[in-house]
Amino acid sequence: MTLEEGIFYVVAAVTALGGLGVVLARNVVYAALFLIVALLGVAGIFLLLAAEFLAIVQVLIYGAAVTILVLFVLMLTRARDVPQRVDSPQRPLAFLLASALLGLLVTAIVTTDWAALGASEQIHLVPAQELGRSLFRNWSVPFEVASLVLIVALVGAVILARVEEGEE
Amino acid sequence: MIPIQHFLVLGAILFALGVYGVLARRSAVLILMSVELMLQAVSINFVAFAAYLAPQEFRGLIFAIFVITVAAAEVGLALAIVLRLFRNRATANVDEVDTLRW
């Protein structure tokens, strides 16, 4: 086992355990903290895939902004006062469905002949400059649409969440 | 070298965990967190395909960037809706919000 493989297995285990914590933790705040672990693990996976720009974006947006937002909403909705029952009664069914889906996906992945599809043995480095050039030249319209989506979503969020006059 | 299957299996595990979380949790915030897990799984798949299958075009990387952007917008909006829900109904559990249920 090479060093790279060892690092991959450690990071993948951390990510999967973090994800497991998110869906199994009894305390909602612990679930949010496990989410941070899983998201940082995914950033590590991006690094192993030689996508260093995405890894940085992942840490900045998910590791910081999204998790802080989630923790804030947990605080504002007084998650700790909520009784212990955080799981719905359809839990066994959910477990069955999720494991069936996992089995299906893993079977599909294992039985596919990736070499025939042109999968290379090596990971190719993508320089961040190339990525930026492509983003602003070939993909500039989706980029602008994405910025529009962001502004509309954030203005909508402000309007939805603010306390109106006469309320409370 | 790490074969591509390893990354894809990790993505499948994360996605299955997300599906389980969405179906098994009651709190809207926890459901949202599980959705985030599923989006992360999809991002891993996109980046793995970009790195192994089409290294010259890196469309997968571009797609992953847009996934992260839209996910950020989605989280902001969804959490605002959860806050509004909590203010109106004093609960953030999805099974207690059943006014429209037949």
Q: Which residue has the tokens 């030689």?
A: A50
Predicted pLDDT at A79: 58
Q: Structure pTM?
A: 0.90
Predicted pLDDT at B38: 94
Predicted pLDDT at A8: 92
User: ipTM score here?
Assistant: 0.90
Q: Say if residue A119 is exposed, middle or buried (CB neighbours under 10 Å; 0-12, 13-18, 19+).
A: middle
Q: Is the pLDDT of residue A41 over 90?
A: yes
Q: Which of residues 97-156 of A touch B (CB under 8 A)?
A: 97-99, 101-102, 105-106, 109-110, 114, 117-124, 126, 130-131, 134-135, 139, 142, 146, 149-150, 153-154, 156
Nearest CA in chain B to A140: B62
For residues A80 and A42, the model is more confident at A42
For residues A45 and A126, the model is more confident at A45
- pLDDT tens across A86-142, in order? 777 888 899 999 999 999 999 999 998 887 777 776 777 777 888 888 888 888 999
Residues of A in contact with B69 (CB under 8 A): 146, 149-150
A81 pLDDT band (50/70/90 cuts)? low
A151 pLDDT band (50/70/90 cuts)? very high
What is the rounded distance in angstroms from the CA atom of residue A95 to the CA atom of residue A90?
A: 9
B2 pLDDT band (50/70/90 cuts)? confident
Closest CA–CA distance from residue A34 to any residue of chain B (Å): 10
Q: Which residue has the tokens 């999809």?
A: B42
Residues of B in contact with A20 (CB under 8 A): 17
Closest CA–CA distance from residue B99 to any residue of chain A (Å): 18
The three state secondary structure string of chain A is: CCHHHHHHHHHHHHHHHHHHHHHHCCCHHHHHHHHHHHHHHHHHHHHHCCCHHHHHHHHHHHHHHHHHHHHHHHHHCCHHHCCCCCECCCHHHHHHHHHHHHHHHHHHHHHCCCCCCCCCCCCCCCCHHHHHHHHHHCCHHHHHHHHHHHHHHHHHHHHHHCCCCCCC
Left if phi > 0, otherwise alpha if psi is -120 to 50, otherwise beta: which for A118?
left
